[in-house]
C-alpha cells in the first residue's frame, strides 16, 4: 500500500494495487501547467482511494484529458485521460518511501530549452 497527497493535506490518497514505473513527460501542456516537466506513475482506478475528493478540482487540460489539483493549495496530484480506468499520480505527491523507479521520457521534442535529458533513460520524441 502506498499513500500520498497534496501540500496542505486536504487531498490524500491510498493506492492498494501496483504502480507503473515513473514516466517523465516534457509536453508543452505539462510544462505550462506545472512549471517544469512531469514525473508520474499510474494506478488502476479500483486500486485508488481518494480522501478529501471535495477539495479536488478537475481541470480539462485538453479535449481528452483532465488534471486533478487541490483547490486549497494548488498542488497537482492527478492526471486522467477521459474514458480510462487508470489515473496517473504525480510521483512527487507520494509519501516516502515510494519504491518507484523512472523508466523513460516522452514528448522530448517539446522539452524546455533550459535543461538537458542526460540520465541515460530511453527518450521518445512523442508519446512513444
Selection from 111, 115, 113 nearest residue 24 by Cα: 111
Q: How confident is the model at residue 128 (pLDDT cuts 50, 70, 90)?
A: confident
Give pLDDT tens digits for 11-51: 999 999 999 999 999 999 999 999 999 999 999 999 999 99
The whole-number average pLDDT for the span 119-126 is 98
- Taken in order of first residue, the domains within the chain and their CATH numbers are 2-110 (2.170.150.70)
CA distance 52 to 60: 20
Q: How far apart are the first and last CA of the chain?
A: 29
Strands 56-62 and 86-90: unpaired
Neighbours of 110 (CB within 10 A): 16
Write out the three cell numbers for 18. 501496483
- In this prediction the pTM is 0.96
Selection from 106, 99, 104, 105 nearest residue 4 by Cα: 99
Amino acid at each position: 500500500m502506498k499513500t500520498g497527497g497534496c501540500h496542505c493535506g486536504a487531498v490524500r490518497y491510498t493506492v492498494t494495487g501496483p504502480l507503473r514505473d515513473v514516466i517523465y513527460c516534457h509536453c508543452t501542456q505539462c510544462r505550462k501547467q506545472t512549471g517544469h516537466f512531469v514525473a508520474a506513475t499510474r494506478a488502476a482506478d479500483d486500486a485508488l482511494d481518494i480522501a478529501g475528493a471535495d477539495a479536488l478540482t478537475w481541470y480539462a487540460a485538453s479535449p481528452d484529458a483532465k488534471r486533478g489539483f487541490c483547490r486549497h493549495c494548488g498542488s497537482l496530484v492527478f492526471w486522467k485521460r477521459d474514458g480510462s480506468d487508470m489515473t496517473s499520480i504525480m510521483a512527487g505527491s507520494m509519501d516516502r518511501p515510494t519504491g518507484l523507479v523512472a523508466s523513460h521520457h516522452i514528448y522530448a521534442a517539446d522539452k524546455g530549452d533550459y535543461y538537458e535529458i542526460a540520465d541515460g533513460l530511453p527518450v521518445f520524441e512523442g508519446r512513444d
